[in-house]
Structure 1
Amino acid sequence: MHHYYRIVREKLVPFSFRKTFPIFRTLRYVPEESKDKVISDEDVLGTLLKVFQALFINDFNKQSDILTVLPEPVKSKYQDLLSVQHQRVKHLEYSHEEQNTFKPEEILYKTLGFSVARATSSLISAGKGVFVTKGLVPKGAVVSMYPGTVYQKYEPIFFQSIGNPFIFRCLDGVLIDGNDKGISKVVYRSCNGRDRLGPLKMSDSTWLTSEIHNPLAVGQYVNNCSNDRAANVCYQEFDVPAVFPIELKQYLPNIDYSNDKQSPLRCVVLVALRDIKQGEELFSNYYTIVS
């Protein structure tokens, strides 16, 4: 029987310290025959499209600029969906009737049957955490996303990494900076503005604020498990496919540091390892990430 090891997470250490102290890497032991993904990429994609589409329709009266650049079949699809949802006539965006809108967390609950939000962690001195605020998270559900700027392993991140506890390292060395303050915040906003195509936003920057448009984009605040708090979610890598609808990219809470990269955008989602009830805090294991 053959086995292999994977580098899972490493602490970012300033270069000056590397000459004196070795960097210890934590290895995750994975049997070769095991199925690495908790859920399939198709299931992850399906969940994101379902939530993002519901958010888009809920905010339909603010999407007029985007609708003007979409192909007619795509525009008609959303008009039909909106008509069914609100029992109104087609081409509703031309109506003066006010549309009923819901908060993003309400859309998440209506779409997936649960909602999550940041709050003070139940762990002492752990700062913020993420809780199930309503409903039930079923085992295998995508419960949140890890937002931030995506860096390839050869791209500069030294200054952003100083004193930054929100840098996540993927199995292949790709880094995601989920810090919503300081230099990290400035870098993300800059990249977000750079990649915009007219009215089309290629990513969501509202996770940097208190008014989050994508209610899943709170994964960077999920705390690590402890001896008496077992992990109930795990990290899973997901590369956004080329067929991802351009009008829904405005809800993706990740963006590449460089805009000349040809590979797909890397995202990381958190998947429930068991049913998680209302009021429970989410806990991960920093050393279990799957790709």
Structure 2
Amino acid sequence: MFRAALKRFRNIWKSYRHRFVPWVVLNISKNEKTLRQVTDRCEDKLLSDEEVSDSLLKLFRVLRRADHGQQLRTVQTHFLRQVTSDEEQCGGNPACAHDAMLQSLGFCIDRKPSTLHFAGTGVFVTRGFVPKGTTVAMYPGTVYQAYEPILLQSIRNPFVFRCIDGVLIDGNDKGISKMVYKSCSGRDRIGPFMMSDTSWLTVSPQNPLAMGQYVNNCSNEWPANVCYQEYDVPDKFPIELRQYLPNINYSQDTQRPLRCVVLVSLRDITAGEELFSNYFTIVR
């Protein structure tokens, strides 16, 4: 009987490809109405990688122009101008990241108390309009290959995302997870160019998409309006824009492309709505 139960559990886990912590497998039967099922890995992509890249590049280029403008103003003033409260809220940049997002993508998202009273923080569309099939957010964190150690980081950590191929992304912005990410980010640098963004670990990320780890699970009352999609950063991605990617490989010698996870809208989403994903995705 024990062997049969163990075999059944293994079969469930093999098909349960796409979520954060193993214990939720035990609750699948209680959440059947919120299951998302796809018959093949390719069907889990609503957008092509090229479309995801286009969205990210559009935003990152606006952010870079704003950063350059701020750097020039800083040099010109020679630290004589006092920073305004608005600039402090934007990380010292008067061209706020949210304004850049609205300008380039047509909407803004931000963290607020969730509509779900038990969920804590959630992510909302605060301005503009999100069409169906749009890259809405990114899931930040350290990327671990299936063979790399993550035991200590995973203890009491609900932010570990499991990709279909076993790659893990630790999106926790506190504790040992935060220290590991900052250490890896400081290690990976090419000349003057940073290869990742650490500002998602603060309350004011310079990449305003980098808050996907706070998107809450859907329910029968609040159906999913976004879904997760894996995205490998192409080699041709401009080196000067990688500073806005909120992901970093745990190992420096990893040969695979950098894995990112984006959230894609399943329908049109208007300002004021909270984003809800589906924590239970079965890939057959």
Q: Name the TM tier (shorter chain).
A: 0.7 to 0.9
Instruction: Name the structure 2 match of 1:52.
Output: 60
In the alignment, is residue 9 of structure 1 matched against residue 19 of structure 2? yes
Task: Read off the aligned partner of 2:141 and give its amino acid letter.
Answer: G
Query: Using the alignment, how far apart are the partners of 2:160 and 2:191 within structure 1?
Result: 30
Equivalent runs, 1:112-191 vs 2, <5 Å = 112-191=105-184
Say if 2:113 is the partner of 1:105: no
Instruction: Give the CA deviation at 1:247.
Output: 0.3
8 Å contact kept, 2:17–2:162 = no
Q: How far is the alpha carbon of 1:39 from its aligned partner? A: 1.0
Rounded to whole Å, the distance in 2 between the matches of 1:169 and 1:25 is 17
Normalising to structure 1: TM-score of the pair? 0.78
- Maintained 8 Å contact 1:9/1:168: yes
Provide the residue aligned with 1:84 in structure 2: none
Q: Is 2:248 aligned against 1:267?
A: no
Identify the structure with bigger relative contact order (alpha carbons < 8 Å, sequence gap 6+): 2
- 2: CA distance, partners of 1:63 / 1:253: 22
Structure 1: how far apart are the matches of 2:237 and 2:75? Answer: 27
The whole-number CA distance in structure 2 between the counterparts of 1:50 and 1:289 is: 32
Provide closer, same or farther for how the CA distance between residues 32 and 261 of structure 1 changes in structure 2, counting only shifts above 3 A: closer
Matched with 2:38 is 30
> Contact 1:234–1:289 at 8 Å: present in 2 too?
no
Q: What are the ranges of 5 or more consecutive residues in structure 1 without an aligned counterpart?
A: 14-22, 65-91
What is the match of residue 67 of structure 1?
A: none
TM-score (norm 2): 0.80
Indicate conservation of the 8 Å contact 1:203/1:250, yes or no. yes
CA contact (8 A) 2:37 2:281 kept: no
SS at match of 1:135: strand
Aligned mates of 1:289, 1:202 — CA distance in 2: 33
Higher fraction of helix: 2
1:257 aligns with 2:250: yes
- 1:239–1:34 Cα change, 3 Å: closer
> RMSD of the TM alignment (CA)?
2.8
Identity between Structure 1 and Structure 2 (%): 60
Post-superposition shift, 1:8?
A: 2.6
- Alignment partner of 1:237 out of 219, 230, 240: 230
Matched, 1:206 2:216: no
Task: Count the aligned residue pairs.
Answer: 249
Distance, in Å, in 2 between the alignment partners of 1:105 and 1:160 is: 31
Q: Distance in 2 between matches of 1:56 and 1:10?
A: 32
Secondary structure of 1:268's aligned partner = strand
**Residue deviations 1:69-104, cap 9 Å, x none?**
xxxxxxxxxxxxxxxxxxxxxxx99988x9x94100
